Structures are given as C-alpha cells and as structure tokens.
Structure 1
Amino acid sequence: MSAKLIVAGPCSAETEYQVIDTAKQLASIGITHYRAGVWKPRTSPNTFEGMGQRALPWLLRVKRELGMQVGTEVANREHIALAIDAGVDFVWLGARTVTNPFAVQEIADRLKDMTMDITVYVKNPVIADIALWLGAIERLQNAGVTRLVAVHRGFHSLLPSVYRNAPQWYVPIELKRLRPDITLLCDPSHISGNSDLVEIVANQAAKLNYDGLMVEVHNSPKDALSDKNQQITPEQFAQILAKIRFGSTIDGNETLSVFRAQIDELDKSLFDIIAHRMELSEKIGQYKKANNISVLQFARYEELLSNSLTYAKQHHLNADFVKQIVELIHQESINRQL
C-alpha cells in the first residue's frame, strides 16, 4: 500500500488496558495515528457515553510510550480545552456536531482563543449537504486552524440499505474537487456499520484515491461498549491494509472510476428499494387474503402505469422502457401475493 494517512483505534476509550493493548497492536503494524473516543455523543442517554476526561491520560500514555500521535472527538468548547491542555495531537468533530453550525462556531472560537494550531478532522454532517460540510471547514479556517482533514463517514438515509450510512460517494468527490487542498479520509467503519463490509468500503475509497482511512479497531470488538458490530481487530485491519491499493483507479481512468462508483451505489439503492417494495407487496397480499379481496386489481394497475409514464416523460425516459419495467415489477408483486 502506498503511503497514506491511516488513523485507527477503538470507537471508545473504555479501559486503560484496552486503550494501551489496542495501541500496541496497531503500532506493531506501522500505524502512527491513534484515535479513541473519550466523550461519546450518543443518540440515547441510556447507552455508554464515554469515560470522559479521566480517559485522556490513557491516550497520553500511548503517545509517550509508543510515540503515536493521539486524538479524540470533541463536541463543545469544554472538550476542546481539556483535550488540548492534556496534550492530544488532533481532534475530530463528529457528524452530529458538524450538522450544527452553532456548535462548530463555538469550537472554532475556543480554538482561536487558545491560539493553538492543532490538526482538526471534520467528519461530514449527518445529511448529504456539502455546503454544511464546507461551512464547518471554513469556520475553523477563519478561526486560524491551518491543518484540516475532511472525513467521509457516510450519510443518514431512510431507504433500506446494507450500509449503516449511505456512502453517496459523489458528495466527498465534489468536496475534493472544490477543495483539493483539504486531505480527505474515508471512515469505512461508520459507512458500513458492519465489520464484514469494512474492507469493501475501504477498497472503494482506495480506488477513488482517497488520502487515507480512519478506521475503528478494537482489541476485542465483541466486548466493545459502543459500535461493536463495526469494529475490527488489529489483525483484521492488517490484512485489509495488505490487500488494498490506493491510487489504482479502475481502467487507469480516475474519472471513469468516479462515475462507476456512483452507478454502483445507485444500483444498490435500486435493489434495496425493489426489495422493500416486494415486502410491502407481500403485506398487501396477506391483507387481501384476510379480507377476501382479489389479488389482481386492474384499476390500480392502470393508475400505476399511468403515473409511471408521466414520471418517465418528466425525466425524459423512454416510455417503452419504463412500461417494461413497470410490467415486470407488477408481475413479480402479483406473484408475491398469490
């Protein structure tokens, strides 16, 4: 693998042993940047929200004993002050924080007051809003932060998907086009939400020639107190790093690689939507059986076809092509209801 910025470590700093042991294993495979969440802004207050300030000395021990650069997530002005005073080398702003310009500005103002030029990683916002992502970066730059890294961790979507957060690769690609000066990392852990998919997402990022990765690695993922399903072991991470090749774009054409990545993502979304539609068809079939309603409803089919042809015209799609698709989907729906 060519030289890239690789950041790895557990989702959360849970115990001193876990932090040190994970760091030692990562250092042994050449990782120089170590991450661990000290404060964990979770959806529910009834889940593990981090060890807080008392975990900072554990990170500093990693820095002192292993020579690794260490960092943690910050979500407010108090966090940033405590982290910098403790001696961390970098911090990151999570998706929830970046989604809130007021929170970003509060952190930016605190950084400006402290006159500390620390490296700040900016994860993408929860929603696929590139202006919001760029705005967070600009707020930090306006506060005097000169070392900035953008981290693509995927976006929330209401559509069913194999991913925890939809990659929507075109968003980070556009960010890189607009700001080629900003280092861009991929966080395959949060995109996938599943340790089995981390390698697939990391490999896609490598094909798109990202500047590196930020990956959640835990010495014992099954015992993790947060995000256990998406964390991998140091050994698994070493195997992934040995396989992926950054900068090796498809057909040697980076533009073509970008387009194909977008098509792949759209295709996956199409199949997810079709699968969800068939699930609804089966529920409708069950309702019809329970209420002695005929499976085939001609009026409903005519309405469906008419609406689809209207959409086809609006989007400049071939009517015959759309009609064939609708007929196939409708027939499969009927089959599911029989």
Structure 2
Amino acid sequence: MKLSLNIQPLHTWIDVKNEPLLISGPCSAETEEQLLNTARLLANTGKVSILRAGIWKPRTRPGEFEGIGSIGLEWLKKAKEETGLPIATEVATASHVEECLKAGVDVLWVGARSTVNPFTVQEIADALKGVDIPVMVKNPVNPDLSLWIGALERINNAGITKIAAIHRGFTSFEKTSYRNVPMWELAIQLKTICPELPIINDPSHICGNRELIPYVAQKALDLDMQGLMIESHINPLVAWTDAKQQLTPEALSKIISELNLRVAASKNEDFMDALADLRNRIDKIDDQLIQKLGERMALVEKIGNFKKENNVTILQVKRWEEIIQKSLAFGGAFNLDANFTKKFLELVHGESIRKQTEIMNEAKIPNKS
C-alpha cells in the first residue's frame, strides 16, 4: 500500500532556525504575561522555529480548564510581533479555524481527540478550503493507522499541501512508563507508505513527564522524524494543564543541545559497502525465516486435519505453555528480548489457531457424482 498525497516539503513552508525543527510553547495559554514571558525566553534560545500554545483545550472531564479561548489568540499575535516566531495552535471546529485565520495564526494542528472522528476532521477540512496554511495532524488517541491516514487525506483533499503528521503516542489500558505508548511501528508504517510526509514527534504527550523527554526525542530523530513538538512553560510547577510534562525554556534548550543529530545516509563508500553486505546477509536470513514459517504452517495444517479426524480440540493449553517457556529460555541464550520473543510466538500461535479453526469448520464438499 502506498499513500498518495500532494505535499510540499517541510523546508518550503517553514524556516527551520536550527535542526531539528522545534515547535515549542506552553501546553495552554493561561495569561498574557505567562505566554509572552515564555515566548521571549524560547526565542532567546535561538532553537525554536514555531511558537505553540493551546487556546481551546479538549479536556477529558468537564470542570477542568478548557482553555482561555479567543483572547489567547491576541496574546499569540503579540508574542509573534515581539519575537518574530510563527505561531501555532490546535483547532477542533470550523469556528476555531475561522478565528485563527482572522488572527493570522501561521500553523494549525488537529488534535488526537479530533483525528479520531471523521466528521470533525471533515468539518475542519471544509473550513480550510481555498486557504494556504500549514496543517499538522496528530495521530488518533487509539492505535488506528487508517484513522490517521484518513484525517491526512481529508485535509489534503481540501487543498492543503503544507501538511505534516504529529506522532504523540497512543492510549493503552496497560500501565507503562509512558502517558501514551509510542508504538513506533505505527509511525514507521505511515512513513513507509508515504515517505514524503513529514512526521513531527511529540515527546511531551508520549512521556507525560519531563524526565523521559530526552530519550524519546533522541529516538524520534534516530528514526528520521523531521522535528519535535515539546511543551515549555516559564514555570511548569504552576502550569494549569499538564504540569509534569512541561519544561522550562532553559531545560528545553539544554536537551536540544545534547541531542545527537544523525544523517539519513552517508557518502562514505566503505561504510556503504559494509552496510550493503550486512543488509544482504539480513535479507538471506529473512528469506530463511519466511521459508521456515511456511514449513511450520504446513505442519500446522496436518495437525489440524489430524485433530479433526480424531475430534480433538484445537487449543492445547499445556502444550502452548511448554512452547512459551522453552522458547523464552532459548531466545534468552541469543540475547533476544523476552517481550519480543513472546509477542512473536503469540503472532505465530494466533495464525496456527486461525488455520486449524478453518480446517475444523471447513464445509464438506458435496459429492457431484
């Protein structure tokens, strides 16, 4: 599958002051003083390319701070005039889009709670028709690549060619160190099917706490993402929203300075030759893996037929537990991560169950004679 979008390269629609592209500012515009003072400090770092601030905040429960509202746009305008930084904010309705366009907001983004609803995204897209403005689309709260792609397509179909995706992680019922589990594989899938699409990583919402931000930011750049959106507040301890994940401008500047920027490709011929050799060896092993999986599934089908003939259930719990324990121990001897080994085995086992279920429930072909 390939995703065909009409996209302008990132460098044509925003002036990147330094690499990586950095979008920063408070989670919420709270007061004029808070926003302007934060903006001044961020501009003084020389590392920020776009100033962001939430004006309307979609909160999980009523009664929480839901954004300062339209007056915050005036504060953003003042910050832009004083610092020279382009300004960005989230839009969730057509009226938000209209207000932002009137206020001269430079970049818009569609939030995760909006991306999940095609009706909402289409309303925003309709309001953007005939407008030339960069729009970034966050991944939906749930891990659904099709929803993310659909939102990007709707915005692009409205005539927006300055478009990017924002990877901010996904909600999970499992307790992890992250506020939103990164699920890097989904961002990688999106990049694979649409290589020209810029992807901006949002470490703030992935981490939910400032301590993990350097690690996530570095990993995002190592995966060739084109920029970072990191929340910054002049005094995070008293922030009205998401206090734990915001950084002071000084702390943000330090993190960005310490990031290791790597290139997507090297011009060193010796390196490229060695890399090609290693990749060829990996390709051969991958071919062998696929062949062995095919051979395994052929045996699974024989077992399925044998169980059907003898009226035996598909799932054999004791046998499955034995496979897990043996394979985890064996994988550990080869330095394979236990979680990876278990997930791999679960995928293979799931396919084995599916094949045997098909065999068990296969309709008998009537005798044509």
Please say whether Structure 1 and Structure 2 have the same fold, judged by a TM-score greater than 0.5. yes
2:251 is aligned to 236
For 2:11, the equivalent position in structure 1 comes to: none
In the alignment, is the contact (CA less than 8 A) between 1:208 and 1:247 conserved in 2? no
**2:34 aligned with 1:18:** yes
Say whether 1:104 aligns with 2:110: no
1:321 alignment counterpart: 327
Q: Deviations over 1:292-324 (max 9, x none)?
A: xxxxxxxxxxxxxx6263377xxxx57633589
Name the counterpart of 2:334: none
1:182 aligns with 2:197: yes
**Secondary structure at 2:140 match in 1:** coil
Contact 1:2 1:245 (8 Å CA) reproduced: no
Q: Matched residue of 2:174: which SS?
A: coil
Partner of 1:86: 103
Identity of aligned residues (%): 44
SS in 2 for 1:52: coil
* Residues 1:42 and 2:48 aligned together: no
Q: Equivalent residue for 1:146? A: 161
Aligned-partner Cα distance in 1 for 2:74–2:67: 14
What's the secondary structure of 1:218's corresponding residue? coil
Aligned residues: 273
Secondary structure of residue in 2 paired with 1:110 = helix
1:217 is aligned to 2:223: no
1:74 CA drift (Å): 0.5
| Whole-Å separation in 2 of the counterparts to 1:168 and 1:311 | 27
Cα gap change, 1:168/1:144 in structure 2, threshold over 3 Å: closer, same or farther?
same
Instruction: State yes or no: 1:8 paired with 2:53.
Output: no
Distance 1:37 1:2, change over 3 A: closer
Instruction: List structure 1 segments (4+ residues) > 6 angstroms apart after TM superposition.
Output: none
- Cα distance change of structure 1 residues 319 and 110 upon mapping to structure 2, 3 Å threshold: same
**Closer, same or farther in 2 for the Cα pair 1:321/1:93, shift >3 Å?**
same
Give the drift of 1:178: 1.0
1:72-118, Cα deviation, whole Å (9 max, x unpaired): 11001111111111110011110000000110000001111xx2111
* Structure 1 spans left out of the alignment, 5+ residues: 260-305, 330-338
1:207 paired with 2:222, answer yes
1:108-123 equivalences in 2 (<5 Å): 108-112=125-129, 115-123=130-138
Q: Is the 8 A contact 1:209 1:246 kept in 2?
A: no
* Cα pair 1:210 1:246 within 8 Å, conserved: no
Give 1:111's aligned amino acid. L
Does structure 1 residue 52 correspond to structure 2 residue 69?
yes
In the alignment, what sits opposite 2:317?
307
Which residue of 121, 130, 133 maps to 2:145? Answer: 130
Query: What is the letter of the counterpart of residue 38 of structure 2?
Result: T
The aligned amino acid for 1:173 is: I
Match of 1:161 in 2: 176
Judged with a 3 Å threshold, the aligned counterparts in structure 2 of structure 1 residues 308 and 68 are, in CA distance, closer, same or farther, namely: farther
Contact 1:309/1:322 (<8 A) preserved: no
Return 5+ residue gaps in structure 2 as ranges: 1-16, 265-270, 283-315, 332-337, 339-369
Distance verdict in 2 for CA 1:79–1:214, change over 3 Å: same
Q: Could you say which structure has the larger radius of gyration?
A: 2
